[in-house]
Chains A and B, each alone.
Chain A
Amino acid sequence: MTKSSDGEIVQFDNVGLRYGADREVLSDVSFTLYPGSFYFITGASGVGKTSLLRLLYLAQRPSRGMIRMFGDDAITLPRERLPSLRRRLGVVFQDFRLVPHLSAFDNVALPLRIAGAAEKDVEKPVRDMLDWVGLSGRMEAAPAALSGGEQQRVAIARAVIGRPEILIADEPTGNVDPDMAVKLLRLFEALNRLGTTVLVATHDMHLLQKVPDSMIMRLDKGRMMDPTGALRLPPRRPQPARQMPT
């Protein structure tokens, strides 16, 4: 899963990020993600959670510091090698970022098609995934015809359809009712049990309690706060990745 000898899948070291000439939105951020772990990033709105996630899903390069992903230096990695790195990630964007003129089915199928899957290998997995998130009856609906919660579930289905090694979710329960929020969290846990590293950014403190084995990273004014010390340590109970169902 990773080229690194000590098993980390992502490593941030003294990362700083500023937009233009403004002050840094992230300063001296250092942390490590390990395979098969479940992480929360918390903090009030505007503390830099989304900026941190943008660095993680390779939408942005940092202003300074070092980022290693899957054993590669993500900052100096040639641009043409970034897509292969991105395909190892699944991202649930805060604003869903569904393609407006594609149906729910086609939106979920997008990562598979981008990866070059043949159409015969797309249909069943996508139908299964949409069925799983409770949208089997809305496959042909355009995003505009879906409610906020439905859009969010499509976004989640799209993020996990390609079995990513890391799932990054930015406020994934922000637009769903409490029952659906729990259901989505269970989905993330199930993925995590299958070996996917999960990183959820949320300001919902109640959510954190529902995943007791998770580790919590707290951002405050662009700096990583680590009162428990758990952030810089490996998971307390490292969970070996399970085999994929065949």
Chain B
Amino acid sequence: MKLKLPGASPLARSWRPTAGSAESRLVLQARLSGPMPWVIAIMVALTVLAAATGLSLRNTARAAKVELSGGVTVQIVEPEAGARVRQAEASIARLRTFPGVASVRQVPQEEVDALIEPWLGGSDSADIDGEAIPVPALIDARMNGAVTEARLVQLRAALRSVAPAARVDAQSSWLRPVFDAIQSLQWLALAMVALLAFAMASAVLLAARSALGANRDTIEIVHLLGGTDSQIAAIFQRWIGVDAAGGGVLGIAMGLVAVLFLGRRFASLGAGLVDSGALGWGDWLLLALIPVLAAVLAMLTARLSVMRALRRLL
């Protein structure tokens, strides 16, 4: 009997990590089985929605802050029309010379009428002529930089001598409750993203454990033939990675369809604040990264759980 043995012993004695597809065939029967890709798809879709909401709210808040942070509204609350006009003109003149003021304009009467129309009716209404119901004159000033309380105090002092009936307010202060609400929603979106990531990691953990149990014999054989923990973990990692990638692609497709649909709905409202929440390229890129991050998280979870389970073997 002539024995022709392969000269493979040097290979068998010096381990080098390999990522060959042959290893992944060891647990082939467990791959893409069960609900794992669908669970990941749903998680990714929900994460995309939550992240898109958070990003949109952030954009809205930023745009509103940029728009309003340097804005100052001066109201001339003077019942007598002549005095109101004089004080308004004097205020505008004073504001133009005030340091840090970038632009000043008196809000035209038509705009003021439009603002109060929902409450008091149109300008052709008998009472709204500036006499029967005195409407304050409005001055919109833009300052360089944010309007701090100290600058407001200076402005009030400067206007007091020329327009005793002037009331000076920072525009951002009116929307502070809105900003606070937006910020709360942003935190909520962030918390949802974190919770979904946690839920997905838990699902992967369960799937990895289940696959470990289903493949216990195979794992033990590979182990006894000299397979390392890293090598066995890599098999599961690759398997979960394939599931996560498939689920991730499906999930982001579902998520993006929902985001685009909602975006169109909100855009049709035509409200300035809503329009300002539109997602930019960077935001879309961030959303596109979600399935990638999900796959990385899934693979990392699988690796850690398998490594932990393998440490129980000798």
Residues of A within 8 A of B (CB): 57-61, 79-80, 82-84, 86-88, 91, 97-102, 106, 109-119, 121-122, 124-126, 128-129, 132, 158, 160-164, 183, 186-187, 190-191, 194, 244-246
Residues of B within 8 A of A (CB): 1, 3-9, 11-18, 20, 22-23, 25-26, 28-29, 217-218, 220-222, 224-229, 231, 311, 314
Q: A83 to B229, alpha carbons, bound, how many Å?
A: 9
The contact sample of 12 A-B pairs, CB cut-off 8 A, is A86-B226, A87-B12, A110-B221, A111-B225, A112-B12, A115-B15, A121-B11, A124-B6, A132-B4, A161-B8, A187-B1, A244-B7
| CB of A132, distance to nearest CB on chain B (Å) | 7
Asked whether B6 lies within 8 Å of A163 as measured between CB atoms, the reply is yes
Q: A169 to B212, alpha carbons, bound, how many Å?
A: 27
Asked whether A106 lies within 8 Å of B25 as measured between CB atoms, the reply is yes
Q: Which residues of B contact A158 (CB under 8 A)?
A: 225
Q: A179 to B228, alpha carbons, bound, how many Å?
A: 38
Asked whether A163 lies within 8 Å of B224 as measured between CB atoms, the reply is no
Asked whether B8 lies within 8 Å of A117 as measured between CB atoms, the reply is yes
Q: Which residues of A contact B16 (CB under 8 A)?
A: 116
Q: A131 to B22, alpha carbons, bound, how many Å?
A: 22
Our count of residue pairs bridging A and B at CB distance below 8 angstroms stands at 138
| CB of A65, distance to nearest CB on chain B (Å) | 16
Q: Considering the complex of A and B, which 9 residue pairs feature the smallest CB-CB distances, nearest first?
A: A125-B6, A87-B226, A163-B9, A162-B12, A86-B226, A116-B18, A190-B3, A115-B12, A116-B16
| CB of B283, distance to nearest CB on chain A (Å) | 43
Q: A109 to B12, alpha carbons, bound, how many Å?
A: 12
Q: Which residues of B contact A82 (CB under 8 A)?
A: 314
- CB closest chain-A residue, reference B23: A113
Q: Given known contacts A99-B218, A114-B231, A162-B9, is B4 in contact with A86 (CB within 8 Å)?
A: no
- Candidates A60, A61, A194; contact of B5 at CB < 8 Å: A194
Asked whether B20 lies within 8 Å of A113 as measured between CB atoms, the reply is yes
Asked whether B11 lies within 8 Å of A115 as measured between CB atoms, the reply is yes
Q: Which residues of A contact B222 (CB under 8 A)?
A: 110, 114
Asked whether B11 lies within 8 Å of A162 as measured between CB atoms, the reply is yes
Asked whether A116 lies within 8 Å of B224 as measured between CB atoms, the reply is no
Asked whether A115 lies within 8 Å of B314 as measured between CB atoms, the reply is no
Seed contacts A57-B224, A160-B5, A162-B12; 9 additional CB < 8 Å A-B pairs: A87-B226, A91-B225, A98-B221, A113-B22, A114-B231, A118-B20, A122-B22, A158-B225, A163-B8
- Candidates A59, A83, A106, A246; contact of B226 at CB < 8 Å: A83
Q: A58 to B218, alpha carbons, bound, how many Å?
A: 17
Q: A129 to B20, alpha carbons, bound, how many Å?
A: 22
| CB of A86, distance to nearest CB on chain B (Å) | 4
Q: Which residues of B contact A84 (CB under 8 A)?
A: 13-15, 226
Q: Given known contacts A79-B314, A83-B15, A163-B12, is B5 in contact with A115 (CB within 8 Å)?
A: no
Q: Which residues of A contact B26 (CB under 8 A)?
A: 99, 102
- CB closest chain-B residue, reference A102: B25
Q: Which residues of B contact A119 (CB under 8 A)?
A: 20, 22
Q: A61 to B312, alpha carbons, bound, how many Å?
A: 13
Q: A5 to B26, alpha carbons, bound, how many Å?
A: 40
Q: Which residues of A contact B17 (CB under 8 A)?
A: 116
Q: Which residues of B contact A190 (CB under 8 A)?
A: 1, 3
Most buried by A among B14, B26, B222, B225: B225
Asked whether B3 lies within 8 Å of A162 as measured between CB atoms, the reply is no
- Candidates A86, A106, A117, A187; contact of B3 at CB < 8 Å: A187
Q: A147 to B201, alpha carbons, bound, how many Å?
A: 43
Q: Which residues of B contact A86 (CB under 8 A)?
A: 224-226
Q: A132 to B25, alpha carbons, bound, how many Å?
A: 25
- Candidates B1, B4, B12, B14; contact of A111 at CB < 8 Å: B12
Q: Which residues of A contact B227 (CB under 8 A)?
A: 83, 114
Q: Which residues of A contact B226 (CB under 8 A)?
A: 83-84, 86-87, 111, 114-115
Asked whether B7 lies within 8 Å of A163 as measured between CB atoms, the reply is yes
Q: A4 to B8, alpha carbons, bound, how many Å?
A: 25
- Candidates A60, A101, A194, A244; contact of B28 at CB < 8 Å: A101
Q: Which residues of A contact B229 (CB under 8 A)?
A: 80
